[in-house]
Structure 1
Amino acid sequence: MHHHSTITTSTRGHPPLITRLTGLLLAATVMLTSGVAMADTGMDVSKWQGCVSASAAAQAKAGGAAFAFVKVSEGNGYTDSVADCTMQGLASAGIRRGVYHYARPDLGNTPEAEADWFVSQTRGYIGKGVIPVLDWEPGGSYNTWTWWAKRWLDRVQAAWGVKPLIYMSASVIKAGDWRAVANADYGLWVAGYPAGYTQDRLRDPGAVPYDVSPWKFAAAWQYSSSGRVPGVGDRIDVNWFYGDAATWAKYAGAEHGTNANPTPSTPAETPQQGAPTGDVESLARAVIRGDYGNMPQRRVLLGSRYDEVQARVDQILAGNAPTSQTTGQTAATRVTVRAGDTLSAIAARTGLWPLSAWSVPSGDRNRIYPGQTVVYTGSATTSQAPATSGHVVRAGESLWSIYGTGWSAAAARNGISAPYVIYPGQVLR
C-alpha cells in the first residue's frame, strides 16, 4: 500500500519463501455457496494514485480489475482526500469495493479512538457490499501489538455488523502472536512479493507461497506493488482474491448472503471499551447530525459517554436546549483538523462560537492543516452555531443516493458539473 513518506511500509521487504500451503484453495472453496472455487484480480489505491474516476475505473474493469481496496482513513483524524471520489468511480464501473484504515498506534492513539474515526468516515458504506479492512504495518516493536489490532477489529465489527479483514506482510505475521485474531475469524489479506519489484500485471499468481499460520488460509494476496492497471497507473498494488462475487458479498455481509466468516457477527448491544472525548454539547450535536448512527451502533461508539450524551440529545430534540447565556463556566474543547476543514466549519460542527475563542498552532485562524489540534478556550457564553440550510454530505453518498431522480436538478442548483463529484462535509442546497 502507498502512504505518505513518514510511514514505514513493512510490506516492501522480501519475506522468506516457505512451503506453499497445499490446502489453501481447498479451504477457500469451502467458503463458497457454489461447488466451484473462483478467484479474481484487483488493486488497492489511495490518494497517491489520484481519484480513480468513472472512466478510469471502466478501463481498469476492462483490464481485469474485479475489485479494489481504497484507503479512507489513518490514525485519529485523517481522511484520504480522494477516497469518496474513487469509491464513486469504482461503483459506476461495477468494481467491488473495500475500504481500509491505516493504523497508527505509534502516535499513542487507542484502538477504540481510531476505530471510531474509521467508522465515522465510512458509515455510508455499511450494508453496501463493502469490506472494511485494517491496514497493519506500524513498524518496529508496534508490529507485535496484536492486542491493539484485535481491539480495533472488535470495535469496527460491532459498528459494521461484519468482520473486517486485516492486511499485513508475511513477515509481520511472524512478528507477533496472532492466534486471538485468527481464532476470532478475522480474515487475512497478506502481502509479499516473491518476484521483487519488477513490472507486474493483473494475473493469477497461484497459491500464497508463505506460511500464514495461525490463519488456515489467506482471503487475499497482494503479490506485487508494481502492477500495471489500465486507466490507473503502472506501479499499482495488485492483488488476488480467493473467491468470487458471492464470496466477496459474504465477507461484506451483503445481499448475496450473510457474512462469510464462520461466526456471523451482529452489532453489540453493550458499550465497548473506550469512549469519544469532547464536551457533552458537541457530542450531542454530532449525534443529531448522524455522526454516531442509530442504535445499537450509537451505544457502541459512545461507550461510557452514552448516557450523558443521549440525555442531552433528548433535551435538544425536545426543544429544551438552553438559549440563554451561561456565565461563570468555561469550556476547553480540542478538535483534530480534518482534510478540507476551515475553522468556521469546525465551529459549526461543534457549535462553539465565536471564532475568536479558538486558538490554532499557527496563530492565524485562516491557516490550519489536517492532523493539527485546535482548541476552544472560550467561555460558555457563546452563541449557538447558525443552522445549516441544506443537506450535509456524508461519506459514501452520491447525488443519486441523496436526491434520486432529482439528482440532475440538484447538481445544477449547486453548480456541480460532470463527473458530479461531491465530498463529505459539503452542504448541498
Structure 2
Amino acid sequence: MLKGIDISRHNRNLKDPKDLNSLDFVIMKASEGATYRDSSLMFYNSVLDDDMLKGFYHFGRPDNGNSARSEASNFVSSILKYNNDHAILALDLEDKALSVPCLDDWALEFAKYVYSATGKKIMIYCSVSEAYRFKKCAAFDCGLWAAKWSRLKPTKKQIKPFEVFAMWQDTNKYKFSGQLVDHDYFNGSAYQFLKYAGADV
C-alpha cells in the first residue's frame, strides 16, 4: 500500500518539500459547501511537483441546505486551474442529519456531476461505521475512503456495500513537518493510483 496524508487549511504551515520524500501522495482539501475554497491549495503551488501523486477532496455540507449540484460545481471549478489530470477526487461527507436514502441520493448526484465534468469516479470519505449509508454510490462504482483510526485494516464486513476500500485513513495524529496531520494508505500501487485518477498509463 502507498503512504500519504490529507491536509486542509489547518495544516497550512507545511512548507518544506524535503518532508514529502517520506510520502507517496498528498490529498488536499479544495472546497467546502457551495462557495468556499480552501487555502490548502496554496500548498500545491509551493511544494508539489508534477511527479507527486495527489488528490483533491470536497467537504460536503448538505446540512446547510445546499444542493449536491451546487457543491459539485464549486468543487470542479476550484480545481480547474490545477493539474488534476492525475489527481484522485473525493467527497468528504460526514452529515448526520439526513436520512440514509437522502444522504446516498445527495452523494450520488454529486458523484454524477463530477463524473460528467471530469470523467472521474470519486471516492466517498466516511467512517467505517457509516459506509452502509452509501449503497447507491457503491453501485455507481465510487471508491471508499474509509476512516478507521486503528492499526487494523477495515474488514469486508465493515465496508459493505463496498467490495474493497480504495483508501484508509488510519490516524489523525501522524507527525509530519512539525505538526499532526491525517495519515492515509492507498490500497494499491502507484500505477493503480494513476489509473484510479483517470490517467492514461
TM over 0.5: same fold?
yes
TM-score where L is the length of structure 1: 0.44
Q: Which has the higher contact order (CA 8 A, sep 6+)?
A: 2
Quick one: which of 87, 95, 117 aligns to 1:159? 117
Quick one: which of 183, 190, 193 aligns to 1:245? 190
Structure 2 partner of 1:214: 161
**1:6-405 mapped onto 2 (5 Å cutoff):** 39-53=1-15, 56-61=16-21, 64-83=22-41, 85-92=42-49, 94-125=51-82, 128-138=85-95, 140-142=96-98, 144=100, 145-174=103-132, 176=133, 178-194=134-150, 205=151, 207-209=153-155, 211-229=158-176, 231=177, 233-256=178-201
Aligned length: 198
Q: Give unpaired runs (5+ residues) of structure 2.
A: none
Superposed displacement of residue 183, structure 1:
1.1
What letter corresponds to residue 157 of structure 1 in structure 2? Y
Q: 1:241 to 1:109 in 2, by over 3 A?
A: same
What letter corresponds to residue 182 of structure 1 in structure 2? A
Decide whether the 8 Å contact of 2:89 with 2:122 is kept in 1. yes
Superposed displacement of residue 96, structure 1:
1.0
Three-state SS of the structure 1 residue aligned to 2:115 is: helix
Q: Give unpaired runs (5+ residues) of structure 1.
A: 1-38, 195-204, 257-429
Distance in 1 (CA, whole Å) between partners of 2:175 and 2:122 is 27
Distance in 1 (CA, whole Å) between partners of 2:115 and 2:24 is 25
Superposed displacement of residue 102, structure 1:
0.4
Decide whether the 8 Å contact of 1:226 with 1:235 is kept in 2. yes
Superposed displacement of residue 214, structure 1:
0.5
Distance in 1 (CA, whole Å) between partners of 2:27 and 2:104 is 22
Q: Percent identity?
A: 30
Three-state SS of the structure 2 residue aligned to 1:238 is: strand
Superposed displacement of residue 242, structure 1:
0.7
Distance in 2 (CA, whole Å) between partners of 1:47 and 1:143 is 30
What letter corresponds to residue 149 of structure 2 in structure 1? Y
Distance in 1 (CA, whole Å) between partners of 2:99 and 2:131 is 9
Q: 1:143 to 1:187 in 2, by over 3 A?
A: farther
Superposed displacement of residue 157, structure 1:
0.7
Distance in 1 (CA, whole Å) between partners of 2:106 and 2:49 is 36
Distance in 2 (CA, whole Å) between partners of 1:93 and 1:153 is 25
What letter corresponds to residue 3 of structure 2 in structure 1? T
* RMSD of aligned residue pairs (Cα, Å): 1.9
